[in-house]
Amino acid sequence: MSLRKRLRDSHNEVDAGPLNDVLFILLMFFLLISTLANPNVVKVNNPKGKSDTRVNQNIMVSVTKDQKVFIGTKQVDMLYIDSLLKKEVELSRKFVDTPTVVLSVDTIAYFGYAFRIMEAAKRAKAKLAATVRP
């Protein structure tokens, strides 16, 4: 008899307080991680480097292994790289005193393109940085 009485008195409730805490922490984690990711990146195989220098990535220029050139995520023709890069530097100058052109070139890409982009950045009076993988 006492067994039945205990079964009727037991409560089948779940405490949702800890669940809310865990979900809030997960939400904050994914929000922070999503802001750190850079969506304006074209995948290239960068050469290895020894030093680690961080630069504000104002203008990202990428050259893929297929010799395709991108400013940000927009593919551009190498013939017009001087004028397009100068235009991007001038647009960035509204927000930053000295814009930085970050150059990311695949290891099997034609490095003549890299040198042309470096010269175009120099003529546009922008800082130049190159990305390498650790």
Q: Residue 45 domain-assigned?
A: no
- Does residue 113 form part of some domain? yes
Q: What is the CATH number of the domain that holds 81?
A: 3.30.420.270
Contacts 24+ apart (CB under 8 A), 120-123: 120/81, 120/82, 120/85, 120/86, 121/61, 121/85, 121/89, 123/82, 123/86
Clarify whether residues 67 and 6 are in a common domain.
Answer: no
**131 near 88, Cβ under 8 Å?**
no
- Domain that residue 80 falls in: 59-130
State how many domains the chain has.
2
Statement: residue 70 has pLDDT above 90 = yes
Q: Is residue 42 part of a domain?
A: no
Chain segment 31-67, per-residue pLDDT in tens: 888 777 666 666 777 667 666 555 555 788 999 889 8
pLDDT of residue 69: 92
Q: Are residues 119 and 82 in the same domain?
A: yes
Specify if 43 maps to a domain: no
**Using 50, 70 and 90 to split pLDDT, how confident is the model at 16?**
confident
Confidence label for 131 from pLDDT (cuts 50, 70 and 90) = confident
Residue 14 lies in a domain: yes
Same domain, 66 and 125: yes
Query: Do 69 and 8 belong together in one domain?
Result: no
Q: Could you tell me if 23 and 67 lie in one domain? A: no
Q: What is the mean pLDDT of the chain?
A: 80
